[in-house]
Structure 1
């Protein structure tokens, strides 16, 4: 995996300042502070940084909510659940899009449009890269918010409206498809004398060929979101993607991700999961243990029950004489809130501090019963060691493979063998997490070997059999597991597919709180503008989304945005 310097980008910041705005868009009418001598390729750095440098989002959206809703993690023994079903301080990417990402990408278009025609011709790929980044970022915002200002959102900076209307999500899918096809046309044209963004593009280092593939994969992802609402359009896009000249990812080396330099990113502060420690859930760890998933030690740490520790507990009288070592150091805790108070699960949630007598001496022992999430995947300097390398997947080769497998099983595309793509996806996912764990120097890192991957793929709960229902569940479980490092994606995948599910191949445990089975949240509340003049547009957007009957009250987190059809 290629490492691009994330923080050594001072040259790219010359002449630039971060654009600012509020939820009312009132600051977007201020002239952008872009030096007339700034080269457009330099302007890609700031929005790229804003996409991944989101520690507030990780602390709240991810650690507190999405990872717990999706049961990647459960609050560790001795900690509280917090406001699990009443989210607060969330939706950080919405603010990032309107403050930092969108304005800076629009500035690129505006700067280039003022240049001589001959110069503009040499910047077609820069414009296309900015377009792909903008579509991706807007989609991320809309995916969990629904209608958002987009087509006119940033015009105020250039004498446009200060009160942009909200585009419906249905319309946005058409706009995004058109924008991505326009970007692909620029990439596929292979125009001569193109100015490269080497050194300023923190994702692909200016490689237009890889950006073109990413644009195509993003189109495929958008098509999957349309599958319930507009299956005809989803089919048309998917089929067009498969024949587009740009092609698709061919390996993990093509995927859109961010890889930091060592010791330079995601260091402590809000990145630090130790402030709200999570352990693995029983449902996911039980699945991974039972099926020998090679990603298990890459996702979770072993608990403290080594054979030596177990024997000492038996010798010290904490465990009964003759107790048999379980030979399993991966143990998950129940995810349901009420099970934290259930005596049958007390062993999972008690803080395991022991006082025992051994060889005539009383000693204190503390042993973790459950397996913690691999902290260094999320906080590069966790565990008090020198910071490692941080990786953030954005669009992955593994997910692309799984999407093609699913489309094949559904009969939406032809000429593609589902099992072949599915198996490629598993290998790619395991390989990607193996690289992430190695670069992050996670606890007890051991390279994954191909024999383990082969055995996993051949397992009864993993291998495709030709039964459409079970094959779709297996594919969608693999999509879900692959999104471990991007919990917002896992949330979206679960909403789209319904997998994992309660009682399924991978059990998503029903969440029961105070005796009531809770409905998991499915969206954020669309932020209310702070400027009075913009509030009618916001209210119109809410009213429009409520017409489907699935959106619910504006603050109902269990409501559904347009694409998330029942």
Structure 2
């Protein structure tokens, strides 16, 4: 697991030089300045501490993309390994940072609380809003940590600096949910206080200190908790949804309400600012997902995933190589079927145009979901998904290999990716090498409204129809993805960032969203079972950018489901052999937390194990997952 290690270096010469300076160059007054009584040292500025808390608010830490999200995305069939699934796909190896992210924000919240506690009452009252904002980030990250591990430390976390313990107690998921709901309601009460508040301004990286937007963010967390409560206390979950939905002022309405933030110079100038340096290890996009989005003209597909390499120039390069006698290279049939071309008297093919929807839609292809299908002729023949040597084109002394498939668009989560546009083997090298401090998004209008659509269908007394919430949520999701694509300047985001003469930008307008919304799969009809599946499919799609949220949604809903006409679940292994949480290894005997961790494991009915026993990680569920449907079975509320 990820380890945080501090390496101390001995700087002997520097220390000696410093000692000489102190013994020969300091007056009594200077010593007095150095030897300040610690009790008189001023507290940190709560506003600046809050900015640092936002900088440390990191649901997208770099290990998420390389380990944790890579596991969950494949388990829920959002992506496939490039060589297809094999018998080991349900086993977990190294884990990333999920489960240990709370402490990075909680320590700043504790510093903020301590600084405010030392203020006179009238001054402290001016920081009520800031205090609520700081606590909300801690609750969000606490929930993030508990989803895949169950009981976690919270109340006693990062308190040692203030006389607390170095061995914080683990709290059960059930108690954590109760605690967080209590804290969030207190935060909302603080944000309604009308006395003069300190101005946070641009030191709030997301909302500029706008209390109304923070009210919506906090209510968004309440809905996240409510959704997780459905299998344990449905009545309570519906009550929370009704509290939130009773007033539209509690609910995000447009993408300007979304929690979108850019750390810019507030970050560390490295991964914290630009996102991970590591490649995103999610796999190849699912053909089931791509096919669903393409037939419904869902424009989010254009920015969620990458265009494949087969533009008009590359296709012509294949035609030219074949005309030179290269019988090994071949354009996959599923791509060639979308190409209009002519053939001259010598048999030389010439690209003329795209068929069907044309650019950019024809450039997206997914990989079929299945076990060891890379060994089957139907996937390696004319419709070749796996034999990469046939995607290689040679022209004289120059060769290039091209991918016909689509992948997660890394530049949505990585600000320092150099993208090379596909060109013919002897074509010019064209790259996008611009670095951009990353814009990220967590709670959004889409998420909140899709939850409310779900709760309405499940019987909550809410002021709007499920169809209204659904429409607002899906439209907002589409607008949010286009916004992220533009802010992060992904390849092809505008015409200036295209290369091939037929390239079309991947961002889109309201008319494209309206076309999508007119499709039957994007409309609710009043059939509760059918409508619920549609809501969960839209959550599934929206959370492609947030793989752990996607996993939680699939785990609690059983959607995608087997036999669906929307996005079907492919049964490759018995559902009882698929992990539903992450593993916890036996602590070392010298670990001061050992007894606490063992007690928490016993309380939850968990067995210490590694990732090689997926059946244990399926049967020994976290508290709120008990009673939820198996993967692929559909909702069972």
Mapped pair 1:348 → 2:385: yes
Listed as ranges, the matches of 1:8-407 within 5 Å are 36-52=42-58, 54-62=61-69, 64-76=70-82, 84-98=89-103, 100-192=104-196, 194-243=197-246, 247-261=250-264, 271-272=276-277, 274=279, 276=281, 278-314=283-319, 316=322, 318=327, 324-325=337-338, 327=355, 328-346=362-380, 347-353=384-390, 364=399, 366-382=401-417, 383=419, 385-407=433-455
Structure 2 SS opposite 1:45: helix
Q: 1:265 touches 1:390 (CA, 8 Å); kept in 2?
A: no
Task: Name the TM-score, length of structure 2 as normaliser.
Answer: 0.75
Structure 2 SS opposite 1:388: coil
Listed as ranges, the matches of 1:503-542 within 5 Å are 503-507=563-567, 509-510=569-570, 512=572, 519-526=577-584, 532-542=591-601
Distance 1:351 1:509, change over 3 A: farther
Deviates more, 1:85-94 or 1:342-351: 85-94
Q: 2:445 touches 2:476 (CA, 8 Å); kept in 1?
A: yes
Cα separation, 1, equivalents of 2:392 and 2:138: 58
Cα separation, 2, equivalents of 1:440 and 1:459: 29
Deviates more, 1:266-275 or 1:485-494: 266-275
Cα separation, 1, equivalents of 2:584 and 2:105: 18
Mapped pair 1:485 → 2:545: yes
Structure 1 SS opposite 2:94: coil
Deviation, 1:206, is 2.2
Cα separation, 1, equivalents of 2:571 and 2:441: 28
Distance 1:275 1:269, change over 3 A: farther
Structure 1 SS opposite 2:435: coil
Cα separation, 2, equivalents of 1:41 and 1:106: 13
Q: 2:107 touches 2:159 (CA, 8 Å); kept in 1?
A: no
Distance 1:200 1:337, change over 3 A: farther
Cα separation, 2, equivalents of 1:219 and 1:309: 50
Q: 1:93 touches 1:141 (CA, 8 Å); kept in 2?
A: yes
Cα separation, 2, equivalents of 1:141 and 1:362: 52
Cα separation, 1, equivalents of 2:607 and 2:559: 23
Cα separation, 2, equivalents of 1:295 and 1:469: 25
Structure 1 SS opposite 2:203: coil
* Equivalent residue number for residue 29 of structure 1: none
Deviation, 1:159, is 2.4
Q: 1:267 touches 1:379 (CA, 8 Å); kept in 2?
A: no
Cα separation, 1, equivalents of 2:454 and 2:139: 24
Listed as ranges, the matches of 1:373-522 within 5 Å are 373-382=408-417, 383=419, 385-445=433-493, 446=505, 447-507=507-567, 509-510=569-570, 512=572, 519-522=577-580
Deviation, 1:169, is 0.7
Distance 1:37 1:82, change over 3 A: farther
Cα separation, 1, equivalents of 2:546 and 2:5: 26
Q: 1:268 touches 1:381 (CA, 8 Å); kept in 2?
A: no
Distance 1:162 1:37, change over 3 A: closer
Deviation, 1:147, is 0.8
Cα separation, 2, equivalents of 1:185 and 1:245: 17
Deviation, 1:91, is 4.5
Distance 1:278 1:140, change over 3 A: same
User: Can you give the 5+ residue segments of structure 1 that lack an aligned partner in the other structure?
Assistant: 1-19, 23-31
Distance 1:396 1:168, change over 3 A: same
Cα separation, 1, equivalents of 2:119 and 2:272: 40
Deviation, 1:527, is 6.1
Q: 2:53 touches 2:105 (CA, 8 Å); kept in 1?
A: yes
Deviation, 1:417, is 1.2
Distance 1:354 1:490, change over 3 A: closer
Distance 1:478 1:164, change over 3 A: same
Deviation, 1:497, is 1.4
Structure 1 SS opposite 2:442: strand
Cα separation, 2, equivalents of 1:171 and 1:499: 28
Deviation, 1:288, is 1.1
Q: 2:604 touches 2:623 (CA, 8 Å); kept in 1?
A: yes
Deviation, 1:494, is 1.0
User: Can you give the 5+ residue segments of structure 2 that lack an aligned partner in the other structure?
Assistant: 7-37, 340-354, 356-361, 420-431, 494-504, 611-615, 628-637
Q: Report the aligned-residue RMSD.
A: 3.4
Deviation, 1:397, is 0.5
Deviation, 1:506, is 3.8
Deviates more, 1:139-148 or 1:252-261: 252-261
Cα separation, 1, equivalents of 2:263 and 2:114: 30
Structure 1 SS opposite 2:577: coil
Distance 1:541 1:309, change over 3 A: same
Deviation, 1:519, is 3.4
Distance 1:270 1:110, change over 3 A: closer
Bigger-Rg structure (1/2): 2
Cα separation, 1, equivalents of 2:291 and 2:134: 43
Deviation, 1:131, is 1.2
